[in-house]
Amino acid sequence: MPDSSYFIRKLESTDSVQRFKAGKESFVPLKTFLKKQAKQFQQSNLAQTYVAVTSEKIVIGYITLTCSEIDLKEGYELSDCITANNYEFLPAVKIARLAVDSRYRKNGIGVNLLEYAVAIIKDKVAENVGCRFVVTDAKTEAIGFYKNQGFTLLDSEDNGTIEHHLMFLDLTALR
Ligand SMILES: CC(C)(COP(=O)(O)OP(=O)(O)OC[C@H]1O[C@@H](n2cnc3c(N)ncnc32)[C@H](O)[C@@H]1OP(=O)(O)O)[C@@H](O)C(=O)NCCC(=O)NCCS
């Protein structure tokens, strides 16, 4: 890894995003979002991005969060609030993007970004607004990564046949 020291905080307008490398072709949209859209989405309150940055403010990883909801399609039941099982959708925060610069992968940055985001969702969003789940549309290659972090693959008929796979984390499992 070129430079091992970094810290995690919210994306700032002066952060350097242009050197971010996505790796293979299918990850290029993750690079494009960071370079062209993340700051604008943040200013417009559409999505908030948290970054792993070096001391020179170079972004080497990021995670983007936005409001969402989840339809569990009878694939998961809440035992602590039976009434909620009647609702079609339950409140969630979505991990809209997660990527680590390809030169810095497998060094724990992805896990650190995810843990940082889940802590914000649990301590700030769930406590103050009401939010039960963290959800993401995982690329096939990332399913193992999310499973290691406690996420469940939603077992529905169409979920395994698409390019992205809906995965969720029940925040009460973290208590
Ligand atoms: C997925 C991604 C964010 C992980 O970031 P990272 O910094 O490389 O991950 P970490 O180093 O924190 O990984 C921590 C653990 O997960 C494992 N891991 C990493 N990527 C994995 C994968 N694709 N499948 C299974 N396990 C994986 C690591 O081996 C490590 O396990 P260990 O702690 O037992 O050694 C990164 O590989 C990436 O940017 N991939 C391309 C984009 C992508 O797939 N984004 C996911 C959203 S769809």
Neighbouring residues of 55: CB distance < 8 A, sequence distance ≥ 6: 5
Instruction: Return d(Cα 2, Cα 57) in angstroms, integer.
Output: 14
- Delineate the domains of the chain, giving CATH numbers in brackets: 7-174 (3.40.630.30)
60 lines ligand 1 (CB under 6 A): no
Percent of the chain with pLDDT over 70: 93
Name the more confident of 3 and 22.
22
96 lines ligand 1 (CB under 6 A): no
CA of 142 to the centre of ligand 1 (A): 7
Q: How far apart are the first and last CA of the chain?
A: 34
Mean pLDDT within 156-169: 76
108 lines ligand 1 (CB under 6 A): yes
- Closest atom of ligand 1 to 143 CA is 24
Question: 29-86, pLDDT tens digit by residue?
Answer: 999 999 999 999 999 999 999 999 999 999 999 999 999 999 987 789 999 999 999 9
Confidence (pTM): 0.93
Cβ atoms of 54 and 68 closer than 8 Å: no
Query: In the predicted model, is pLDDT for residue 148 greater than 60?
Result: yes
Query: In the predicted model, is pLDDT for residue 92 greater than 60?
Result: yes
CA of 86 to the centre of ligand 1 (A): 35
Mean pLDDT within 166-174: 94
Extract the tokens encoding 136: 């993401």
CA of 4 to the centre of ligand 1 (A): 16
Strand partners, 70: 90
Query: In the predicted model, is pLDDT for residue 162 greater than 90?
Result: no
Residue nearest to atom 18 of ligand 1 (CA): 145
Cα-flanking dihedrals φ and ψ of residue 117, to 5°? -65, -45
pLDDT at 164: 85
Residue 134 CA: distances (Å) to CA of 17, 117, 129, 148 = 26, 10, 14, 15
Mean pLDDT of all residues belonging to the chain: 93
